[in-house]
Structures are given as structure tokens and as C-alpha cells.
Amino acid sequence: MIKKLFIANRGEIALRVIRTARRMGIQTVLGASEADATSLPAKMADQVEMVGPAPSSQSYLSIDKVVAAAVRSGADAVHPGYGFLSENATFARAIAAAGIRFVGPDIATLEGMGDKLAARALAVEAGLPVLPGGEAATRADVHARAAQTGYPLLLKAVSGGGGKGMRRVDRAEDLDTALDMAQAEAQAAFGNAAVYVERFVARGRHVEVQLLGDGTSAIHLGTRDCSIQRRFQKLVEEAPAPAMPLAAREGIEQAAVRLARHLNYRGAGTAEFLVDATDFSFYFLELNARIQVEHPVTEAITGVDLVEQQLLVAMGKQLTLTQAMIRPVGHAIEVRINAEDPDADFRPSPGRATRAEWPAGSGVRVDTHIGLGGEVPPHYDSLMGKLIVHGDTREEAVERLGKALESLHIEGLPTTTPLHRRIVADPRFIAGGVDTGFLTGLA
């Protein structure tokens, strides 16, 4: 059993985990930086343990400080949320060495999936298709691999995630500059400058599959489409992936389950694929060995609490869900409300919300840690909250999203809300099935 849970994260995901843990009768401890000492998650947790000063490098990313705080708290398990140390095998190993359970996959899985080249190799072993490209250890290797793969291509951080350490290259003469930028960003974000090369699909869709496993069995909970992105970071997610032939959707779902079974996967995870928008061929990209930001849309259509499933598996319990029990109903869409100015190249806009009115009502869910007077510190990700809508059909969900966005009012700092209002009114989005180039054509 888990009696006391330490949450090694912040913001809306920390609050999300607290709510499920409380419903399960589990005490919660929030590991908070000095900047988050008075945050809403800190107020909601049963206990707070400080993990250091505001900069994430001195708090949320400091393995020694986070482990020490978890030990001080008397917790018997740690939930890492997403981002920060959530997929860090060294952190999971340190937690285990302290006699505390890590709510997540086995260390071997974290090691295999944390290295994108290793993940690519494991996917091939499981029979999944991958994009042309591969390892490039030196600058000369990058040039050779690029010539072999062809342009356009992507440089991607081996330890990457969240679009960091990723650069699109359209011409050979731009390769060196892009490589320097990708390596510098990868080193700063992950402490590892290694990159690899992958072919860029001009009209691609980003489709992923939610997985659950207990180490002996694995199931999927359907697809999500996350194709509306800027700088390879997701802005809108929906479930199931719209405007896809049934055979293509089932093919991706079955491929994801094959990989989970090959890994003897434990907990919640997401297999991400690039789908060619012209012929629906698909290629494995990565497996995120954690809860995803966009998990609520899957919860909305399946009725499954994914955080609860994570905690149950961490307790050593077998899945009580079977594939036949997963019967998605309707359609769900999520938009990320970030403290960014979309009309100023998405410039971050930290500050205090002088007004924060979030929508409510039938088919509307809001996951946020920001209320009236809530502060977005300059040190962390700009996510303020997530607006999720659910409808019996996609058409109903789109209409509900439009109305919810009209009743969403945040003042005191710029947010991405106006952009989302433009997206939901765009005929291409209303039709469904847009590709990753959607934003470039948005009026």
C-alpha cells in the first residue's frame, strides 16, 4: 500500500495528483521550491517539504535535494508528474535506494526509453516502423547521415522531449548552424548534447496511444491527436484522433501494445507516432514513460483515472482493466492555456492573474493551479491550466470548446486564449485531421 505520497513536481499536475491521492485515502506531501511555497498545490497538500531556491536546477531538478525532501517527509512513494525528473533513471534509482517506491516504469525501461536511439532500436525489435535516419556521434557523422537521409530532416536530442534540442533543416548549407543550436539546447535542457538525424515528413500528423501495463499485461486506451504545435510543443490535443481510417487507428494501437508488451511495461505511458497525412502510414517516434500533459482527454472518453492506475500499479497490483473493458465514448479536446503572448512570437509572460474566470458546466473540465491572484513565476514552464471539453460527437466537442473559450477570462498577463479562439473557429480545425503545419496557415 501507499500511505504517504511525495509529489516531485509543481503546478497543475501536482494538484491533479493530490486530488486523486486524496480520493484514494493517501496522504500527500508536496516538494516545493521557494517560488511555489504559497502556491495552490502547496495549500492543498497535507504537507510541504521545501526542495530549494526558485531556479529548477537548484530545486526540482536537483536529485539530491528532492530525494532528501522525500526521505524527510516520511513518504513511502514518489510521484514525479511530467517533465523535471519524471523520466530520469538516475532519480528513480536514487529513490529506490532510499527505500521509497517510484511511481513509474522500471529503471530498465526508463533507461531504454530515455535514450531516443535506444528506444528506436527497441521499437524495431518489437516490429514497429521507424523513420529513416539514425545515430550521428560526430559532426562528420551528422553530415553523412544527413546526405543519406535527405532533406528536409530533423536533428533531435537523444535525451530529448518537449521539442527541446530539435531543429528542422531544409538545406545542407544550414546543417552546421542548426547542429550547433540543437546541441547547445540539448546540453542545457538535458545535460547531454548528443543528437541524431531523422527524416522530416512534410505533411505529418502527431498521433499517440495511451498505454497501461502491470509488467505482465498491457492494454491501450485509444489514440490522441496532438498535431497542432508550435516549435514542436503541443497546443491542442484531442481523443480519439479524428479523420483517420479505422484500419490506420487500429494499426497504431496494436503497434503500441506490442511495444509495451515487449518492454514488460509497468504504469502509464504514451507511444508517440508520426502519421503521414496523405497515406496514413505511421512511424514510431518515442515512448514517454510517464503521465502526459494531455492525459485528461483520454480520461474523458474512457472514464479511467490514469493517475489512480499509476498508483495501483506502483502498489504492485495487477491491472483489473482488460482491453475489452475499454470502450471510448464521444470525443474530447484539450487546449493548453499558457502565459505567453501568441502575437509576440509566444514570448513568455510571467506575472500575477488579476482576474481568473475559468469555464464550467456539462462536459467541461479545467485542470489549473491558477486562480484570482495566482502567480506564474518566471522560472518554469508557462502552463497556467488546461481546458478540456467532452461531447457525444466531435462536432459537439468543438462547439462546446468555442463556448467555453468565450467564457474564459484571464487578466493581468497575456495568455494563449485568443489564439485558441482563432483555432476553434478555423474551418480546417472544424473539419478535423489537420497536420503539424496548421499554425503556419492560421489567419
**Residues annotated as part of the active site:** 290
Compute and round to an integer the Cα radius of gyration of the chain.
21
Instruction: Give the amino acid at 176.
Output: D
**All three cell numbers of 57:** 536546477
Q: Which residues contact 374 (CB under 8 A, 6 or more apart)?
A: 39, 40, 352, 353, 356, 384
Could you give the CA distance from residue 65 to residue 46 in angstroms, rounded to a whole number?
A: 20
Residue with cell 497504431: 252
Could you give the CA distance from residue 36 to residue 265 in angstroms, rounded to a whole number?
A: 33
Exposure of 396 in the CB half-sphere (CA atoms within 13 A)? 11
Please provide residue 355's backbone torsions phi and psi, each rounded to the nearest 5 degrees.
-150, 135
Exposure of 89 in the CB half-sphere (CA atoms within 13 A)? 12
Return contacts of 183-190, CB within 8 angstroms, 24+ apart. Answer: 185/157, 186/157, 186/158, 186/159, 186/160, 189/157, 189/160, 189/162, 189/164, 189/165, 190/157, 190/159, 190/160, 190/161, 190/164, 190/165
Q: Which residues contact 160 (CB under 8 A, 6 or more apart)?
A: 116, 166, 186, 189, 190
Could you give the CA distance from residue 189 to residue 389 in angstroms, rounded to a whole number?
A: 32
Of the candidates 395, 392, 387, the residue with the CA atom closest to the CA atom of residue 432 = 395
Could you give the CA distance from residue 299 to residue 322 in angstroms, rounded to a whole number?
A: 16
Of the candidates 336, 335, 353, the residue with the CA atom closest to the CA atom of residue 414 = 353
**Regarding beta strands 282-288 and 266-276, do their DSSP bridges make them parallel or antiparallel, or are they unpaired?**
antiparallel
331-338 β-sheet, strand order: 282-288, 266-276, 204-214, 218-230, 233-239, 331-338, 383-391, 364-368
Could you give the CA distance from residue 142 to residue 195 in angstroms, rounded to a whole number?
A: 9
Q: Is 430 left (phi over 0), alpha (psi -120 to 50) or beta?
A: alpha
Of the candidates 258, 257, 288, the residue with the CA atom closest to the CA atom of residue 112 = 288
**All three cell numbers of 20:** 486523486
Instruction: Give the amino acid at 62.
Output: S
